[in-house]
Amino acid sequence: MQATADLIRAQQQRVRERFPDTPTAKLALLPAPIRNPRGTKSIAMGTVGDRHVDWVAAMPPLLLLEDGKTEFDRSKVVMYAYRHSYAQRHADAGVPIDQLRKLMNHDLLESTRRYYRITEERTRKAVDAVARFHFDRHGNRIWREAKQLLDSEHVRQNLEAVAVPFGRCSEPSNVQAGGGDCPIRFRCAGCDHFSTDVSYLPELETYLSSLLQTRERIAAMTTADEWAKAEAMPSHEEIRRVRRLVANVKDTLAELAPDEQDQVQEAMVTIRKSRAVMLGMPSVRQPLPDVRPERP
Ligand code: SF4
């Protein structure tokens, strides 16, 4: 994402220097080359398409990376295909699907999902790679056999648990409701039905920092009743539990050899991407307090 932003900024700077008398807001990002003295007209798509065809035709043979011999059909190098490449590269880099949706200017996540793929084989390998790094709510390792998970185990995991924002829930009624019926309002760090793995580390850290920020904001509020503040305040106990969980996951990762850390990191990226594709995971937020607290 940073590379894309830098590229766009550099182009904006070039256009500003070329048309210094035109207000910035009126400048086209890609100005038309003729009859455009103020830089406000965008280049026509037909012109870009024609230049692109010429550019592709002038290229040396495009050889596939897999074998370095087979030539790629250059008729498939069309401009629209870059949208797919763009989406795939960002997804491969672990950009969350909601951010990618904004970058691609889509209204629906469903539209964004169509632009990139994750192979099932790759996802399974990644799941196998992090199978040894599962934790219960206390941050204790849940040891699994290091050998590859059986197919039945993959299926079982999917049927008997649902995703929650920073792990998995096996509470039967919540599983049956697809994850929307938690009886204790998603206080997962205090629930035996909760487990997590290393791939959720970023969400766990975000959740911890949102708990801390929420505490500070509520403590500073002077415009709310004490009972309302008390209801909304994240508890010290929850913060302590989440902090311990984060620390245990990080310590486990830190103990690995560098090459093993690389493998786990790569598996984490694949799993996080797959999770975003399959589930459109929501951002992590502080769980809602009681909507109607008891009153006299
Ligand atoms: S608090 Fe327990 S039951 Fe509720 S979502 Fe989390 S793990 Fe499931």
For 214-271, how does the pLDDT look when each residue is reduced to its tens digit (9 = 90+)? 999 999 999 999 999 999 999 999 999 999 999 999 999 898 888 888 888 888 887 7
Q: Which atom of ligand 1 approaches the CA of 182 most closely?
A: 4
Q: What pLDDT was estimated at residue 128?
A: 76
d(Cα 278, Cα 272) in Å, to the nearest integer? 10
**Any ligand 1 atom below 6 A from CB of 207:** no
Would you say residue 122 lies in a domain?
no
Greatest mean pLDDT range, 13-17, 129-133, 275-279: 13-17
The model's pLDDT over 162-204, given as tens digits with 9 standing for 90+, comes to 888 788 898 988 888 877 788 888 889 999 999 998 888 988 9
d(Cα 128, Cα 153) in Å, to the nearest integer? 11
Percent of the chain with pLDDT over 90: 35
**Any ligand 1 atom below 6 A from CB of 188:** yes
Q: Are 216 and 229 in contact (CB under 8 A)?
A: no
The model's pTM is 0.55
**Any ligand 1 atom below 6 A from CB of 171:** yes
Given ligand 1 and candidates 173, 194, 235, 281, which is best to mutate, with the most ligand atoms within 8 Å of its CB? 194
Q: What pLDDT was estimated at residue 292?
A: 41
Distances (CA, A) of 41 to 20, 30, 233: 15, 8, 53
Would you say residue 188 lies in a domain?
yes
31: left (phi over 0), alpha (psi -120 to 50) or beta: beta
Would you say residue 251 lies in a domain?
yes
**Any ligand 1 atom below 6 A from CB of 177:** no
Would you say residue 43 lies in a domain?
no
Would you say residue 121 lies in a domain?
no
Distances (CA, A) of 210 to 199, 216, 243: 19, 10, 12
**Any ligand 1 atom below 6 A from CB of 174:** yes
Would you say residue 222 lies in a domain?
yes
Would you say residue 212 lies in a domain?
yes
Q: What pLDDT was estimated at residue 175?
A: 85
> Could you tell me the residue range of the domain that residue 248 belongs to?
128-279
| Burial class (CB within 10 angstroms; exposed 0-12, middle 13-18, buried 19+) of 37 | exposed
Best CA proximity match to 134, nearest among 123, 120, 122, 149: 149
d(Cα 184, Cα 274) in Å, to the nearest integer? 28
Which protein residue has the closest C-alpha to ligand 1 atom 1? 188
Which protein residue has the closest C-alpha to ligand 1 atom 6? 188
Number of domains in the chain: 1
CA of 164 to the centre of ligand 1 (A): 8
Q: Which atom of ligand 1 approaches the CA of 168 most closely?
A: 7
**Any ligand 1 atom below 6 A from CB of 184:** yes
Given ligand 1 and candidates 138, 170, 171, which is best to mutate, with the most ligand atoms within 8 Å of its CB? 171
